[in-house]
């Protein structure tokens, strides 16, 4: 039998071995995490506006106080000429099941331009490439309704190509979008990428060119991630919100994010969205 001193020494040896094993496991775990995050970084490419790569690993926009699709359908009639500004890959536009001959779309992001040419043009959709100044390549008073989800627009150009009495519907990403996630991942917090993106500023801009505002709402809602790799992919795709982000440069922050995930079961941030529905006033000419 071991005496008390031998028992104490054996416990120290066992505890040391356990500590070494735990450290080895942690090191191996970190290596595996790094490998998986680098793979997500490599995979971070998007065509159209398709987030299916991280489906089931994050959630956003499920609890907005409005439904963009329902609002568009409410105003849209079969005979209306519709333009979708910054259509992405045309995913939402085609989901409306509107007659193709009455559809038009613009896009200026090169990968999406190629996708739209491949997908929209054969259907008879009037797809045109937009320029960086957001001039709309269409004649005056061409459309009954213009929609725009998360894309840039110029109020004066929207006014120009809308018919009198026409409707403009836009859902926008606000200035304060994802700021907690930015602070979590980046070593230095950058300034707001789009500081003018607030409801009141955009509402005033539309009113200044002659629109009447029919609906105006703004909301801050949670965005949730259940996988740090999905967050890595997201940060690369939304690169304007996470400037300079790479896995290796922000590795300590990612390990911290993993610890938060393991402790809380979720990583949470806040999205910022606003909605505007505007009508082009019919200007009566004096006799």
Spatial distance between the Cα atoms of 70 and 77, rounded to a whole number of angstroms: 13
Reply yes or no on whether the pLDDT at 10 is more than 80: no
Reply yes or no on whether the pLDDT at 97 is more than 90: yes
Residue 3: its pLDDT value, please? 55
Q: What are phi and psi of 169, to 5 degrees?
A: -120, 125
**pLDDT class for 11, splitting at 50, 70, 90?**
very low
Query: For 150-174, how does the pLDDT look when each residue is reduced to its tens digit (9 = 90+)?
Result: 999 999 999 999 999 999 999 999 9
Q: How many CB atoms lie within 10 A of CB 136?
A: 23
Residue 19: its pLDDT value, please? 47
Are the C-beta atoms of 59 and 223 separated by less than 8 Å?
yes
Mean pLDDT value of segment 105-124: 94
Length, in residues, of the chain: 287
Mean pLDDT value of segment 109-121: 93
Mean pLDDT value of segment 6-12: 49
Report the share of the chain in percent with pLDDT over 70: 88
Strand order in the sheet with 103-107: 58-59, 211-225, 267-280, 162-173, 143-149, 82-85, 103-107, 126-129
Query: For 22-33, how does the pLDDT look when each residue is reduced to its tens digit (9 = 90+)?
Result: 555 566 589 999
DSSP conformation letters of 2-32: --HHHHHHHHHHHHHHHHHHHHHHHHHHHHH
Query: For 129-158, how does the pLDDT look when each residue is reduced to its tens digit (9 = 90+)?
Result: 998 888 999 999 999 999 999 999 999 999
Note the Cα 101 to chain centre separation in Å.
29
Q: What is the DSSP letter of 53?
A: G
Are the C-beta atoms of 155 and 208 separated by less than 8 Å?
yes
Query: For 216-249, how does the pLDDT look when each residue is reduced to its tens digit (9 = 90+)?
Result: 999 999 999 999 999 999 999 999 999 999 999 9
**pLDDT class for 51, splitting at 50, 70, 90?**
confident
């Amino acid at each position: 039998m071991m005496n008390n001193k031998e028992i104490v020494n054996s416990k120290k040896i066992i505890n040391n071995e356990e500590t070494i094993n735990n450290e080895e496991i942690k090191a191996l775990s970190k290596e595996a995490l790094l490998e998986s995050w680098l793979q997500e970084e490599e995979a971070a490419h998007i065509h159209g506006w398709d987030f299916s790569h991280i489906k089931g690993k994050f959630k956003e926009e499920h609890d907005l106080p409005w439904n963009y699709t329902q609002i568009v359908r409410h105003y849209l009639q079969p005979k209306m000429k519709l333009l979708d500004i910054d259509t992405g890959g045309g995913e939402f536009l085609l989901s409306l099941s509107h007659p193709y001959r009455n559809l038009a779309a613009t896009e200026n992001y090169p990968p999406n331009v190629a996708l739209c040419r491949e997908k929209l043009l054969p259907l008879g959709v009037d797809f045109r490439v937009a320029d960086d100044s957001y001039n709309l390549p269409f004649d005056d008073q061409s459309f009954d309704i213009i929609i725009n989800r998360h894309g840039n627009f110029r109020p004066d150009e929207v006014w120009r190509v809308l018919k009198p009495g026409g409707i403009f519907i836009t859902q926008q990403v606000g200035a304060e979008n994802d700021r907690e996630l930015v602070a979590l991942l980046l070593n230095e917090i950058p300034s707001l990428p789009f500081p003018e993106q607030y409801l009141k500023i955009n509402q005033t801009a539309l009113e200044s060119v002659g629109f009447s505002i029919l609906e105006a709402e703004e909301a801050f809602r949670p965005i949730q991630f259940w996988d740090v790799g999905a967050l890595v992919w997201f940060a690369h795709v939304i690169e304007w919100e996470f400037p300079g982000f790479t896995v290796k440069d922000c590795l300590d922050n990612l390990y911290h994010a993993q610890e938060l995930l393991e402790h809380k079961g979720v990583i949470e941030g806040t999205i910022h969205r606003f909605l505007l529905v505007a009508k082009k006033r019919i200007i009566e000419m004096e006799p």
